[in-house]
Amino acid sequence: MKKADVVVLGGLSGITAGISCRRHYPDKKVILIRKEGTVLIPCGIPYIYGTVGGPENNVIPDGLLENNGIELIKGEAVDVDREKKVVTMKDGQEIGYEKLVFATGSVPLIPPIPGIDKENVFPVKKEFDYLSEVHSQMDEVKDLVIIGGGFIGMEFADECRKGRDINVTVVEALPHCLQMAMDNEFCDEAQAKLEETGVNILVNEKVEAILGNGKVTGVKLSGGQELKADMVILGIGAVPSTNLAKNAGLEMGFKNTIKVDRYMQTYNDPDVYACGDCAEKQSFFDGRPTGVMLASIATAEARIAGANLFSPTHQNCGAISVFSTVINGRAFGVAGLTERMATQIGARIVIGTAEAPDTHPGGMPNSCLTKVKLLFSKDTGVIMGGSISGGKPVGEMINVLSACIMHRMTADDIVKFQMGTHPALTSSPIVYPIVNAACKAIIPLKKSA
Ligand SMILES: Cc1cc2nc3c(=O)[nH]c(=O)nc-3n(C[C@H](O)[C@H](O)[C@H](O)COP(=O)(O)OP(=O)(O)OC[C@H]3O[C@@H](n4cnc5c(N)ncnc54)[C@H](O)[C@@H]3O)c2cc1C
């Protein structure tokens, strides 16, 4: 029987956990077991259908594993015997371990809509061959309906029209697209940007049935309207892939995730760890379980799990939830709580907003207006969240906000923040919008003190 010090089951966060383990414990033998032959960059999946041109241009190279001395075994793990410390593969092969990491991820949520199993209805699976098939089918499509106006649905809608003359409709059950992630003013901006590309957006509408005889021909909406469709893409969320862990007797947590502590160690087996979409998450803010699934969280957890395997000392501070997307060239990002989320948990907040061009002078080529909204606790002045829209710099500005949140900076601290600025690269230091939004929150914060 093959044996390793560490066996990891998974893809994206599995690779990261393996690399982290080898960095901390270079003498340990690590095997990664992965179901897929080729692993895709999951966040790049919508871009397969437009910008990057095909799944072959969106893969995580296996060289990463080789370069880090990790052995790859392709195939599905079908059983874990925790007493014997053995993983059994579908082909019968057995692999022994000292430490095991579950990074088995998630699979798309498939709602019980009548007709959901019709031909050309595609949940967004993270599988190379499957997505290649969707890619070749899409060239024949005239009417595409996307169910779900979250970031996956919106990115697909934006991408699928690139280089294709097709009708695209997004159907969203809530009053706004992206409502679960952003406040209304940012949702409205994102929706308007997508509509500019010719995508049709229907909100407050649910798909009640998928029509067609074998192959999809349309969808029926809750309002009674019928839409023509020769392809349907489902972008309504994901569920953790945890059957193997459950069958191995591991304790399950929130919404069928694997229960882990702050070291990413499972509750009932100190030799088994879990990270990524399959692992339970606690909110950074209130410590309650949260269902958020993001690659950024998955890989952060994987680094912690890998580092802790033979000496559990690194702690997970909880999920801040940092998200970004780009719709028709305008970027949107959120770190931590939105105003809506803060209201839902009953937090007393003060808001500061600011706008500035992302170059100075604003007349520079490709300059873009950046809008920042920061939320501070009325009681402590500590930052609880931030939302930004603008040009490409938003992708990194939102990460700056995440660092501010993680280190519990106050509005006063952010006002004193020393940023680097350059005419072609950033807003002017006089109106730097993160700092100015904090400045604007200071007066109401002082009044409420
Ligand atoms: C279209 C799309 C766009 C996204 N965009 C973003 C984004 O922009 N930013 C962001 O932060 N997040 C994004 N996400 C979310 C992100 O992709 C996930 O959070 C991330 O993939 C989680 O990584 P993971 O390693 O936990 O799980 P996964 O990526 O799901 O990987 C799990 C792996 O484990 C394998 N596996 C499962 N069971 C077994 C088994 N029994 N044996 C062997 N192998 C097994 C699977 O086949 C898979 O390869 C996006 C998701 C999708 C679908």
Cβ-contact 375, 345 below 8 angstroms: no
Q: Closest Cα to residue 119, out of 235, 239, 238, 229?
A: 229
CB 196 less than 6 A from any atom of ligand 1: no
CB 62 less than 6 A from any atom of ligand 1: no
Same fold, 121-236 and 329-448: no
Confidence of residue 447 (pLDDT cuts 50, 70, 90): confident
Confidence of residue 267 (pLDDT cuts 50, 70, 90): very high
Q: Which tens digits make up the pLDDT trace of 33-57?
A: 999 999 999 999 999 999 999 999 9
In angstroms, the CA 422 to CA 4 distance is 50
Report pLDDT for 238. 97
Cβ-contact 378, 361 below 8 angstroms: no
- The b/e string for 31-45 (b: 16+ C-beta within 10 A; e otherwise) is bbbbbbebbbbbbbb
Q: pTM of the predicted model, to two decimals?
A: 0.96
380: amino acid identity, one letter: T
Confidence of residue 161 (pLDDT cuts 50, 70, 90): very high
What average pLDDT score do residues 248-264 get? 98
CB 9 less than 6 A from any atom of ligand 1: yes
Q: Which tens digits make up the pLDDT trace of 333-365?
A: 999 999 999 999 999 999 999 999 999 999 999
Report pLDDT for 305. 98
DSSP assigned state of 47? G
What average pLDDT score do residues 195-215 get? 97
Report pLDDT for 446. 87
**Cα 330–Cα 334–Cα 339 angle in degrees, nearest 5:** 115
Sheet holding 231-234, edge to edge: 121-123, 231-234, 143-147, 167-171, 200-202
pLDDT reading at 449 higher than 80:
no
CATH number at 121-236:
3.50.50.60
Ordered by start, the domain boundaries in the chain are 2-35+75-107+239-308, 121-236, 329-448
Atom nearest to 278 CA in ligand 1? 26
Cβ-contact 120, 28 below 8 angstroms: no
DSSP assigned state of 392? T
Q: Which tens digits make up the pLDDT trace of 60-89?
A: 999 999 999 999 999 999 999 999 999 999
CB 36 less than 6 A from any atom of ligand 1: yes
Question: In a 10 Å sphere around its CB, with 0-12 CB exposed, 13-18 middle and 19+ buried, how is residue 137 labelled?
Answer: middle
What average pLDDT score do residues 194-213 get? 97
CATH number at 329-448:
3.30.390.30
Query: Could you give the 3-state DSSP secondary structure of residue 206?
Result: coil
What average pLDDT score do residues 132-160 get? 96
The CATH architecture one would assign to domain 2-35+75-107+239-308 is 3-Layer(bba) Sandwich (3.50)
Report pLDDT for 448. 78
Among 277, 278, 323, 334, say which to mutate for ligand 1: greatest number of ligand atoms within 8 Å of CB.
Answer: 277
For atom 8 of ligand 1, the residue with the nearest CA is 43
Report pLDDT for 324. 97
Mean pLDDT, the chain, integer:
97
Report pLDDT for 437. 98
With DSSP H G I counted as helix, E B as strand and the rest as coil, what are the percentages for the chain, rounded to 5? 30, 30, 40
Confidence of residue 443 (pLDDT cuts 50, 70, 90): confident
Determine the distance separating the centroid of ligand 1 and the alpha carbon of 14, expressed in angstroms. 10
Q: At 155, list the tokens.
A: 């990115």
Report pLDDT for 326. 98
CB 292 less than 6 A from any atom of ligand 1: no
For atom 27 of ligand 1, the residue with the nearest CA is 105
In angstroms, the CA 106 to CA 240 distance is 4
